[in-house]
Amino acid sequence: MALTLPEFPWDSLAGASATARRHEGGIVDLSVGSPVDPTPAVVRDALREATDAHAYPQVAGTPALRAAIIDWYAERRGVTGLTDANVLPTIGSKELIAGMALWLGLGPGDTVVYPTNAYPTYELGAALVGATALASDDPAEWPRSTKLVWLNSPGNPDGRVLSIEQLKAAVERARELGAVVAGDECYAELGWEAEYDDTATPCILDERVIGDSRRNVISVYSLSKQSNLAGYRAGFIAGCGEIVGQLLGVRKHAGLMPPAPVQQAMVTALGDHEHVRAQKALYRGRRDRLSRALVAAGFRIDDSEAGLYLWATRDEDAWATVGWLADRGILVAPGTFYGVSGARHVRIALTTTDERIDAAVSRLAG
């Protein structure tokens, strides 16, 4: 019996990619969010020092890693009071997102809610267990069958940041339904509005959101973006001890454990904030140059308060915009990859070199 899975959308970009590659200056690929800058030397050094990894790694994470996660949430997210029972490392964040519905025991008749603008993995997680997937940003729309709610702030693809009030409303409704609510927050350090320059964007575990209880609330994070660790698969969760414990139990049976050298590298990455500030400065420069060029070329940029993408529109069909940019050697992702509400937007990534950003700026001006 075959699974009914969502279409993998990037295959449909082949034609636009071929057009962009024929440009005399080469392609500027802004269609994916894979980091291009080096992994910080301090993190690579930590990985090398931990390569004598002869024993099985700890599924729950080493004591040093759990402490580093707890300290990071306190220092960068304003979340205090976490203990070892409230945190757990993961093999990146995508596998956790894809597997969460399964590991929580969801199945046919249950509903998984996710944002109206969302990358496809939330829907995939529902499909893997035969649950109903519902794209909705309005808690009043969530049915009684809802068992898992995914929030994504800052959002992919649109860079939208949910306020404390919006997060609180979502948590309150999820608790009414007896549902787990998970905040996918992997772009939290990359806020571009003034209030996010020195502090991270609001966290779902903020006491103003959850009150005095973490019940059924989970924060999901990844070091792929802020530390250029996409190739390390370095993620973690924090929140409700009961949910963390349930996930830990499943992961022990399944052998889902980040490699020991990666766990040590994560300790170093979480404790070094300077490399994060330096990387953010690089992205800020690329974002500023590219956004100015897009606006000058007739685009409007919506949301995009944080994260590594510009959610842009020319007020036309998204695929028409993809073609217009491909003719100029620039490849982007149509908003339709992320839901029907993205039909007139494109997602433009900042994850390329300064030289390629400057090439895009020049072509947009031509």
Q: Which amino acid is at 104?
A: L
Tokens 């596998």, residue located: 95
DSSP string across 182-222: EEE-TTTT-B-SGGGSSSPPP-TT-HHHHTT--TTEEEEEE
193 φψ region: left (φ > 0), alpha (ψ -120 to 50), beta (else): beta
pLDDT of amino acid 11: 75
Q: What is the mean pLDDT of the chain?
A: 95
Which band of pLDDT confidence, cut at 50, 70 and 90, is reported for residue 116? very high
* Cβ burial, residue 73 (10 Å; 0-12/13-18/19+): buried
Inform me whether the pLDDT recorded for 1 exceeds 60. no
Summarised one tens digit per residue, pLDDT across range 232-244 is 999 999 999 999 9
Per-residue DSSP letter, 337: G
Which band of pLDDT confidence, cut at 50, 70 and 90, is reported for residue 229? very high
Work out the average pLDDT over 21-31. Answer: 96
Inform me whether the pLDDT recorded for 2 exceeds 70. no
pLDDT of amino acid 290: 98
Which band of pLDDT confidence, cut at 50, 70 and 90, is reported for residue 366? confident
Lowest mean pLDDT among 11-25, 127-141, 281-295: 11-25
Domain residue limits, the chain: 9-38+275-365, 42-272
CA-based nearest residue to 187, from 214, 220, 149, 231: 220
Q: How far apart are CA 269 and CA 139, in angstroms?
A: 36
Per DSSP bridges, beta strands 300-302 and 309-313 are antiparallel
Q: In what order do the strands lie in the sheet with 132-135?
A: 87-91, 234-239, 217-222, 180-184, 146-152, 111-114, 132-135
Q: Is the overall model pTM greater than 0.85, yes or no?
A: yes
DSSP string across 178-190: T-EEEEE-TTTT-
Summarised one tens digit per residue, pLDDT across range 172-204 is 999 999 999 999 999 999 999 877 777 789 999
CA 65 to chain centre: 21
Summarised one tens digit per residue, pLDDT across range 85-106 is 999 999 999 999 999 999 999 9
For the chain, what is the radius of gyration of the CA atoms? 20
Provide CATH code, domain 9-38+275-365: 3.90.1150.10
Inform me whether the pLDDT recorded for 245 exceeds 90. yes
pLDDT of amino acid 6: 62
Summarised one tens digit per residue, pLDDT across range 268-327 is 999 999 999 999 999 999 999 999 999 999 999 999 999 999 999 999 999 999 999 999
pLDDT of amino acid 7: 67
Summarised one tens digit per residue, pLDDT across range 28-79 is 999 998 999 999 999 999 999 999 999 989 999 999 999 999 999 999 999 9
Inform me whether the pLDDT recorded for 127 exceeds 80. yes
pLDDT of amino acid 221: 97
Provide CATH code, domain 42-272: 3.40.640.10
Per DSSP bridges, beta strands 146-152 and 111-114 are parallel
pLDDT of amino acid 154: 96
pLDDT over 90 percentage in the chain: 92
pLDDT of amino acid 135: 97
